[in-house]
Amino acid sequence: MSHRAKGEDRHLDMVSMGCRWVLDVSGLDAATAAGTAARWQRCIDLATRATTIVDDEPETIRVTTSQQPYDLSREVTNKGLVRLRGRVTLLHAAALADESGRAIALVAPSGGGKSTATRVLGRRLGYLSDETLVLLEDHRIAPHPKPPSLVVDPRDRWRKEEPSPDELGLGPTPGLARLERLLTLERDGEATEPSIEPVGLLDQLIAVLPETSSTWLVPDGLDRLARAVTVGGPAARLRYAEIDTCHDLVREHLAGPAMPPPAWEHLPPDDPHVLGEVPDTAPKDPHLPGEMRLGAATQLVRGSWSDAIAHDGEVLVLVGSRPLRLAGAGAAIWLAADVEHTIDELVDVVVAELGDHPDASALVRAAAADLVNHGALRTALA
């Protein structure tokens, strides 16, 4: 068992999620301590290998006899999410790598196939994580090779077993890895053969955002995520009936030449220092208690936002942690509202952008009121 002695205590130095940890197993009997060390051996090995470090200050976790193996995994992961909050892109994703450290991320909601994909595809690829991808701005990955969590009973998804990666035959964990491809997963029992299909940029971001943590606190968080989902080429998903038919397709995709990503315009907030102050709920404008108050002379400007990108006539805005996807009049209004405009001026903007409409004034007023009520716009007096 890899450990450093402290008298009669046993402490396991390890690295996971780019953070240093010490597992205090001094309260366990020898067999249980050895089992814990075996399950976490890959993280223990990273403590003495070249790897990506984000937080170099060790944090001690005391392992108790009352804990199940899955309890320890959740504690390490949850504490890691707190330590890394606002510093890196955090994705609820599996991550695998080839022999040279080129990595592919597989993103899906809970129950969406990540663990199965890890267990199956990881037999021919290196294992980085089965649930959490820690991604730096330059696309380096901090490995999280925890013991994979396997559902024992589909009727009870919280009851999980955690064998070691070696017991499952997963490929070696590279200490240094870099994201080269990202796929969302779509299991389709009617798919006759697996395929990798293009996905619209905003469609992919809307699918991936719920699987992120604290993106709104990361400077340029949405732009970083857009660069992640288009790394190596346009956004794409893996569609399959059975994951064990996807080995060759995934490896070829990972090894294939990079393609140009789609273009988008990054629209960061005017003051990046207010990221943590943007409300997660949509506040009602105190100067606009109802839609009828939006008169022709009402001055509107953008509310606080965390990050935004514009692509193909649409805008995706993060207001706090809430994504707002804007198209048509809503997108045109929000883009114009980087400076104050009256309703009449916004009507002119929308007509110039989208063409005239007999109800243009009413439609713009309704769209503007909706944006105010979602916190994307505010009255100039607010």
Let me know: does 129 contact 119? Beta carbons within 8 Å. no
What was the pLDDT predicted at 270? 84
Residue 187, judged by CB atoms within 10 A of its CB (0-12, 13-18, 19+), counts as middle
* Full 3-state SS string of 70-101: HHHHHHHHHHHHHHHCCCCEEEEEEEEECCCC
What was the pLDDT predicted at 306? 95
3-class DSSP state of 237: strand
Rg (CA), the chain: 24
What was the pLDDT predicted at 10? 87
Q: Angle, nearest 10°, between helix axes 360-373 and 328-336?
A: 70
**pLDDT tens-digit profile of 259-311?**
999 999 999 998 765 555 555 655 554 444 444 466 667 899 999 999 999 99
Categorize the per-residue pLDDT at 131 as very low, low, confident or very high, splitting at 50, 70 and 90. very high
pLDDT beyond 60 at 213: yes
What was the pLDDT predicted at 155? 64
What was the pLDDT predicted at 98? 97
Q: For residue 351, what are the CA distances in angstroms to 126, 300, 343, 364?
A: 54, 17, 12, 9
Q: How far apart are CA 278 and CA 126, in angstroms?
A: 39
Strands across the sheet with 55-62, in order?
A: 4-6, 9-16, 19-24, 55-62
pLDDT beyond 90 at 160: no
For residues 335-362, average pLDDT: 95
**Token representation of residue 265:** 């315009």
What was the pLDDT predicted at 297? 75
Percent pLDDT > 90 in the chain is 82
From the CB of residue 381, how many other CB atoms can be counted at a distance below 10 Å? Answer: 10
Q: Among residues 269, 190, 231, 202, which one has the least CA distance to residue 93?
A: 231
Which of the 8 DSSP states describes residue 171?
B
Let me know: does 148 contact 119? Beta carbons within 8 Å. yes
Q: How far apart are CA 22 and CA 252, in angstroms?
A: 38
Length of the chain: 382
What was the pLDDT predicted at 311? 98
For residues 155-174, average pLDDT: 86
What was the pLDDT predicted at 149? 86
Q: For residue 150, what are the CA distances in angstroms to 69, 158, 160, 166?
A: 11, 10, 5, 14
Q: Angle, nearest 10°, between helix axes 114-121 and 247-255?
A: 80
For residues 223-252, average pLDDT: 98
pTM of the model: 0.90
What was the pLDDT predicted at 70? 86
**pLDDT tens-digit profile of 75-106?**
999 999 999 999 999 999 999 999 999 999 99
Per-residue burial over 309-319, b = 16 or more CB atoms within 10 Å of its CB, e = otherwise: bbbeebbbbbb
CA 117 centroid distance within chain = 18
What was the pLDDT predicted at 381? 65
Rounded to the nearest integer, the mean pLDDT of the chain is 91
Q: How far apart are CA 195 and CA 85, in angstroms?
A: 35
Categorize the per-residue pLDDT at 121 as very low, low, confident or very high, splitting at 50, 70 and 90. very high
**pLDDT tens-digit profile of 30-70?**
999 999 999 999 999 999 999 999 999 999 999 998 888 88
pLDDT beyond 60 at 8: no
Q: Among residues 21, 59, 65, which one has the least CA distance to residue 40?
A: 21
Percent pLDDT > 70 in the chain is 88
| Helix residue spans in the chain (DSSP H) | 30-39, 41-46, 69-84, 114-121, 201-208, 221-229, 247-255, 328-336, 343-354, 360-373
For residues 204-219, average pLDDT: 96
Q: How far apart are CA 183 and CA 121, in angstroms?
A: 14
Residue 193, judged by CB atoms within 10 A of its CB (0-12, 13-18, 19+), counts as exposed
